[in-house]
């Protein structure tokens, strides 16, 4: 069982030390909902049952027992009306045109297989002529950064109506990782995009391109990085937003997205 005297920081022991703090905070939050992780750390004896001691908005402590759902169980939606970034979770590339603000919002969750969905995005841009393009990379854990360059960054860079200040926005956060982090840095250096959201958890100057091998005696699998990349050649080893917005618990409960809301309210030049 997960007890109140067990510190969530135990999960941090599993996370690489050489990343920015936001990345480890996100990792800890995700680990606390993983039965396998909690069991492996000795926090709970049963990976399928965890007891959480929580505190509600009034400061009252309460306890719940959470069991692993069946494989075919329908997911529980935390909100009646889901914000755009939570919608269509099964789609790696989902776009929606918002006519009231003339904004095309595209949630890109992976940097792979972008040729067709990116082409569809460009077709919508030519058809609707939006005033703003918002590319959301907050849930993007990577893929192939060269695919992101070829099908996303370079085509957008070549759109004169979009590639100018106040018209192109890239949404970033702690979970913008690997190839997505690389592409966010390239959007910032190669286009007029404004980065909006939170500091990216991964450091832009670091070893990447993981490989794996099996140790001959223990048969444990070891993952290691093989190539050093430098996507922030000057200044600190971090990618910070041009406009920082940190969502709150109140935002989440209300089903709001203050990061996208800021983009939608941004006055066109």
Q: How far is CA 188 from the centre of its chain?
A: 17
Residue 137 has pLDDT above 90, yes or no: yes
Most confident of 52-56, 89-93, 237-241: 89-93
Is 70 exceeded by the pLDDT of residue 19?
Answer: no
pTM attached to this predicted model? 0.84
- Per residue in 158-167, pLDDT tens? 999 999 999 9
Segments of the chain assigned to CATH 3.90.226.10? 86-265
Q: What is the pLDDT of residues 208-253, one digit of tens each?
A: 888 999 999 999 999 888 988 888 878 888 899 999 999 998 999 8
Separation in Å, CA 139 to CA 128, 136, 144, 169, 239: 26, 8, 15, 15, 16
Highest mean pLDDT among 102-116, 191-205, 238-252: 102-116
| φ and ψ at residue 82, rounded to 5 degrees | -80, 135
pLDDT for residue 91 = 95
pLDDT at 73 over 90: no
Q: What pLDDT does residue 4 have?
A: 40
pLDDT (0 to 100) of residue 114:
97
Is residue 222 within 8 A of residue 215, CB to CB? The reply is yes
Of the ranges 4-8, 47-51, 73-77, 171-175, the best mean pLDDT one: 171-175
CB 98 within 8 Å of CB 106:
no
How large is the average pLDDT for residues 120-128? Answer: 98
Q: How far apart are CA 13 and CA 25, in angstroms?
A: 12
In this prediction, residue 7 carries a pLDDT of: 57
Query: Which pLDDT does position 17 carry in this prediction?
Result: 66
Angstrom distance (rounded) from CA 62 to CA 75: 23
CB neighbours of 238 closer than 8 A, spacing ≥ 6?
20, 199, 200, 203, 204, 232
> Span 59-68, mean pLDDT?
88
Fold of 86-265: 2-enoyl-CoA Hydratase; Chain A, domain 1 (3.90.226)
Answer yes or no: is pLDDT of 3 > 50: no
Say if residues 185 and 239 touch (Cβ distance below 8 Å).
Answer: yes
């Amino acid at each position: 069982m997960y007890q109140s005297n067990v510190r969530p920081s135990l999960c941090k022991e599993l996370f690489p030390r050489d990343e920015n703090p936001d990345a480890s905070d996100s990792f800890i939050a995700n680990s606390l909902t993983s039965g396998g992780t909690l069991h492996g750390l000795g926090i709970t004896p049963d990976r399928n049952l965890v007891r959480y001691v929580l505190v509600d908005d009034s400061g009252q402590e309460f306890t719940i027992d959470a069991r692993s759902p069946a494989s075919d169980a329908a997911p529980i939606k935390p909100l009646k009306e889901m914000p755009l970034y939570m919608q269509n979770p099964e789609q790696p590339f989902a776009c929606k045109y918002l006519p009231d603000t003339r904004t095309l919002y595209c949630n890109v969750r992976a940097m792979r297989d972008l040729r067709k969905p990116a082409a569809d995005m460009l077709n919508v841009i030519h058809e609707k002529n939006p005033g703003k393009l918002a590319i959301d990379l907050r849930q993007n854990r990577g893929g192939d950064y060269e695919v992101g360059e070829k099908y996303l960054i370079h085509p957008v860079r070549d759109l004169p109506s979009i590639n100018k200040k106040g018209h192109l926005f890239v949404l970033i956060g702690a979970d913008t990782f690997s190839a997505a982090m690389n592409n966010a840095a390239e959007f910032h250096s190669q286009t007029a995009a404004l980065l909006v959201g939170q500091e990216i958890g991964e450091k832009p100057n670091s070893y990447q391109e993981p490989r794996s091998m099996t140790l001959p005696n223990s048969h444990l699998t070891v993952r290691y990085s093989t190539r050093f990349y430098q996507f922030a050649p000057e200044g600190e080893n971090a990618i910070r937003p041009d406009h920082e917005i940190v969502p709150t618990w109140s935002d989440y409960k209300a089903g709001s997205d203050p990061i996208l809301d800021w983009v939608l309210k941004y006055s066109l030049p």
